[in-house]
Amino acid sequence: MTRPVSGLLSAVEPVMQEYGGTWIARSCGNADIEAVDENGIWQGPSGFRLKRLFFNQNELDGHTHGFSNGALWPLCHIAYQKPEFRRSSWRTYQAVNARFAEAAAQEKPDAETHVLVQDFHLALTPALLRRRLETGLERKDLPGIALFWHIPWPPADVMARCPWIGELIEGMLGSDLVGFHTQEDCDHFLATCAQLLGLPIRESAHTVRWDGRDIRVRPIPVSIAPAHFERLEWSEKSKFWKQRLGIESRRIALAVDRMDPTKGILERLAAYELLLERRPSLGADLTLVQVATPCRTELAEYRRLSQELASALERIRTRHRLRPERSPPVVLIQEPQDWRSLSELYQMSDLCIASPLHDGMNLVAKEYAWCQGHHQGALVLSRFAGASREFGRDAWMVNPHDPDGFAEVLAEALEAPEAEREARMSRLRRTVTERTALDWGNQIIRELEDRL
């Protein structure tokens, strides 16, 4: 089975492993058809059931590539990518959301069940599911329904551009709980409910009233599953990776992203190039390893990014032949890496640059801090990542839209005294240790149990 690269998967899988239950997800790849039984169930070794829903190309084009990734994703990330609102995609989005609601209803959830709906692909599912269940159950016997929105929620006047924003929000409010990563996202969501739909908000309780119910809106920041990342003998692994990538530089900077315009990969390369130009002594012994796994290649914007990245790399390699006999200034890894390889890369890197233009959270920043252990790496983090709310004091913060400032911060982080890097990194690690993906899942479930 192919394993998609996704922050949602990184966060939700450990929660499902802990609690068990059924995970209803769309199929990804042909191997699924052979792996599942006649009810679409795959009983994996991990302690939960995976129920696959199969969709045809038309449904994927409309729901996933069209409305979810082509309209909602750019709308919610204020990253200057134009959302495309097509009525046909919206209709398919509605139909696919109904299929998920139907599949969840078939599981016969009751008051003891928690239904966790994940992300912007399924905004309408909570209300559709509630409506279906209400025909057979009294309100007190309904399951707790939570919707977690993994991406940012921008201000009301941005969301107002979506022609179906009212229906979208009414779909979300079928939940008992709507979760976001940050308080700012929650505030924007509540303001959108009040300003665009005229719904009553109780500021002190952080709830919105709809259909005779008070729906809680809570910041529940996601985190990582430490078990994914092994502590390894990193100095040995470092030699192995340097040989494999043909690097002799003493210092390594690392970036790990899905190849997505919101992750700010081109902006990072522009800042890195300025660093090489302006601070040749720092650049002479440094290689940037960029892991960028292609995704959503059905969308033109994503294919364009891949081409622009290739030209940017070519340009940097041609212009910065400071040490042709030694190391390339930048190396690109496009193949998806397993957790072990990611752990090794995180551990051997002196610097990790997580610089999205806008991001719900950014798990890579947290994974790096966890993996660094006692090594004194520096985290350079975008102020527009949700993670900046927890890490703002200890990471080196950048504005990815300001290449000059970004390059200066890279130099500062590289030149910081060892004691400072160590102190910052140990505080970052403490923050990550205090809250894992399981704490995130537990908090959602506690909030649902509290509703009764």
Q: Rule CB under 6 A: say whether 376 interacts with ligand GDG.
A: no
Under the criterion CB under 6 A, does residue 394 sit at the interface with ligand GDG? no
Does the protein bind ligand GDG through residue 258 (CB under 6 A)? Answer: yes
| b/e map 370-403, b = 16+ CB within 10 Å | bbbbebbbbbbbbebbbbbebbeebbbbbebeeb
Judged by CB under 6 A, the stretch of 81-89, 94-102, 133-141, 356-364 that binds ligand GDG is: 356-364
In 3D, which of 451, 9, 447 has the Cα closest to residue 228? Answer: 9
Measured from the CB atom, is 403 or 441 closer to ligand GDG? 441
Minimum distance from CB of 148 to ligand GDG (Å)?
8
| CA–CA gap between residue 239 and residue 356 (Å, rounded) | 29
Position with the least CB separation from ligand GDG: 7
Residue 219 touches ligand GDG, criterion: CB under 6 A: no
Q: Does 5 bind ligand GDG (CB under 6 A)?
A: yes
Task: Compare residues 7 and 328 and give the one whose CB is closer to ligand GDG.
Answer: 7
Structure-derived torsion over alpha carbons of residues 370, 376, 381, 386, reported in degrees to the nearest 10: 30
For position 265 contacting ligand GDG by CB under 6 A, the verdict is no
Our finding on whether 185 is near ligand GDG (CB under 6 A) is no
Residues ≥6 apart with Cβ < 8 Å to 3: 9, 336
The residue within the footprint of ligand GDG, chosen from 7, 62, 74, 441 (CB under 6 A), is 7
Count Cα atoms within 13 angstroms, Cβ side, for 42: 19
Is residue 363 a contact residue for ligand GDG (CB under 6 A)?
A: yes
Closer Cβ to ligand GDG, 19 or 323, answer by number: 19
Residue 361 contacts ligand GDG per CB under 6 A: yes
Q: Which residue has the tokens 């057979």?
A: 136
> Which part of the chain contacts ligand GDG (CB under 6 A), choosing from 92-100, 246-254, 358-366, 425-433?
358-366
Please tell me whether residue 179 binds ligand GDG under the rule CB under 6 A. Answer: no
* Rounded Cα distance, 104 and 98, in Å: 10
From candidates 269, 364, 407, 425, binder to ligand GDG by CB under 6 A = 364
Count how many Cα atoms sit within 13 Å of the Cα of residue 178 in the half-sphere of its side chain.
35
| Ordered DSSP codes for 343-395 | HHHHHH-SEEEE--SSBS--HHHHHHHHHHTTS--EEEEETTBTTHHHHTTTS
360 touches ligand GDG by CB under 6 A: yes
Contact assessment for residue 58 and residue 86, using Cβ atoms and an 8 Å cutoff: no
Q: How far is the CB of 214 from ligand GDG (least distance, A)?
A: 25
CA–CA separation, 119 and 386 (whole Å): 16
**H runs (alpha helix) in 6-117:** 7-19, 31-35, 57-59, 73-76, 87-106
Dihedral angle of Cα 353, 152, 7, 41, to the nearest 10 degrees: -170
Q: Which of 24, 104, 193, 256 binds ligand GDG (CB under 6 A)?
A: 256
**Cβ at position 39, least distance to ligand GDG in Å:** 28
Q: Least distance to ligand GDG from the beta carbon of 355, Å?
A: 11
Task: Name the residue nearer to ligand GDG (CB basis): 116 or 276.
Answer: 116
Q: Minimum distance between the CB of residue 88 and ligand GDG, rounded to whole angstroms? A: 26
| Binding range to ligand GDG, per CB under 6 A, among 7-15, 126-134, 136-144, 308-316 | 7-15
Task: Look at residues 70, 39, 50, 62 and name the one whose alpha carbon lies nearest to residue 9.
Answer: 50
3-state secondary structure of 411: helix
Query: Cα separation of 346 and 369, whole Å?
Result: 8
Q: Which stretch binds ligand GDG (CB under 6 A): 48-56, 95-103, 270-278, 354-362?
A: 354-362
Q: In what order do the strands lie in the sheet with 114-118?
A: 114-118, 144-148, 177-180, 213-219, 207-210, 201-202
We find the least distance from the C-beta atom of residue 181 to ligand GDG, in angstroms, to be: 7
Site for ligand GDG in 289-328 (CB under 6 A): 291, 293
- Beta carbon nearer to ligand GDG, 113 or 337: 337
406 neighbors 399 (Cβ within 8 angstroms): yes
10 binds ligand GDG per the rule CB under 6 A: yes
Binding site for ligand GDG (CB under 6 A): 5-8, 10-11, 150-151, 222, 256, 258, 291, 293, 336-339, 342, 359-364, 367
